Amino acid sequence: MKKYTDTGKKDTRSGFGDGLTELGKKNKDVVALCADLTGSLKMDEFKENHPERFFQVGIAEANMIGIAAGMTIGGKIPFTGTFANFSTGRVYDQIRQSVAYSGKNVKICASHAGITLGEDGATHQILEDIGLMKMLPGMTVINTCDYNQTKAATIAIAEYEGPVYLRFGRPKVANFTPADQNFQIGKAVQLQEGTDVTIIATGHLVWEALQAAETLNESGITADVINIHTIKPLDDEAILKSVKKTGCVVTAEEHNFLGGLGESVARLLSTHHPAPQEFVATQDTFGESGTPEQLMDKYGLNASAIVSAVQKVTARK
């Protein structure tokens, strides 16, 4: 069984900030817009290096999206930055009409996603954003798992023509993917190989899936663990290949089970290869205030919850 090492906990939003800084140096068309959260989004260095390409819009997220859409007409590649709740729910009409419908090359970069936002509570902990964004025609949806992958994704989406939603988080989490990885939009990453169950995870739940796989291996259950960083377009081929081998699947995500990764996988399986599936996700609920660890435990978004889901789904084979 392949072992993964946490090289030191780092927040994924810093991966975004460092990726943006690197882009600023090598691509003069990259511009950045922020809605009064420069420090939280780790956009300070880009601002310092390229003040002429940084635009502080203030607490006016709808205006930010409209400005970004307009900038693409002149050939710029705008990266917008604010919390995920404000990046999607607050500005959905502007994203739909000015970005998605118009096919504009805007990169919507959303930090503090999910329940691990922590103490700020339910009003800021959006658990519906993946569903909102993946339903928009032409919108690519990416949810990264650690610092290295977030940095790589940030750099990669600048080369991709079309609207992108890049989702990442607030807390420091395990950093375990390669620093020199080749990030390919729409391509799943196989982390472990097994024969008894497929575990498909995204975002912060990828590390939890690896921990769960280690625990399961000790009891004789081997798992395919797949990192789905791109939720749309989904890597249908990789998922179907694995589930045809293992015969069952657990999906794991820091998002509502309605509208998230699990629902996309269920749609794929129902039309191509029906198989038992269990969902590790929030169950049609809002969050609450607490530490990330407390909330992940209460809402069943950790390695222990994945192990329980595997035990249930393998019994259904």
Cβ distance 261 to 200 under 8 Å?
Answer: yes
Mean pLDDT across the stretch 22-29?
A: 97
Active-site pick, 45, 52, 61, 253: 61
- pLDDT value at residue 250: 98
Q: How many whole angstroms separate alpha carbon 130 and alpha carbon 258?
A: 10
Distances (CA, A) of 167 to 70, 72, 84, 249: 22, 21, 7, 24
Residues 6+ apart with CB under 8 A from 281: 251, 252, 253, 254, 255, 256, 257, 260, 261, 262, 301
Given strand 164-167, what is the order of strands in its sheet? 54-56, 30-34, 77-83, 107-111, 164-167, 140-143, 230-232
Among residues of the chain, what percentage have pLDDT more than 70?
Answer: 100
- pLDDT value at residue 16: 98
Nearest to 179 by CA among 148, 157, 143: 148
Residues 6+ apart with CB under 8 A from 11: 147, 169, 170, 171, 172, 173
Among residues of the chain, what percentage have pLDDT more than 90?
Answer: 99
Q: Is the pLDDT of residue 1 over 90?
A: no
- Identity at 279, one-letter amino acid code: F
Q: How many whole angstroms separate alpha carbon 149 and alpha carbon 230?
A: 11
**How do residues 55-103 score in pLDDT, each as one tens digit?**
999 999 999 999 999 999 999 999 999 999 999 999 999 999 999 999 9
Q: How many whole angstroms separate alpha carbon 66 and alpha carbon 310?
A: 44
**How do residues 206-222 score in pLDDT, each as one tens digit?**
999 999 999 999 999 99
The tokens describing 219, both together, are 């009891």
Q: Strands 54-56 and 107-111, how do they pair?
A: unpaired
Average pLDDT over the chain reads 97
Cβ distance 67 to 33 under 8 Å?
Answer: yes
When pLDDT is cut at 50, 70 and 90, the band that residue 230 belongs to is very high
Has 61 been annotated as catalytic?
A: yes
**How do residues 108-157 score in pLDDT, each as one tens digit?**
999 999 999 999 999 999 999 999 999 999 999 999 999 999 999 999 99
Q: What angle do CA 134, 138, 142 make, to 5 degrees?
A: 50
The tokens describing 54, both together, are 């940084």
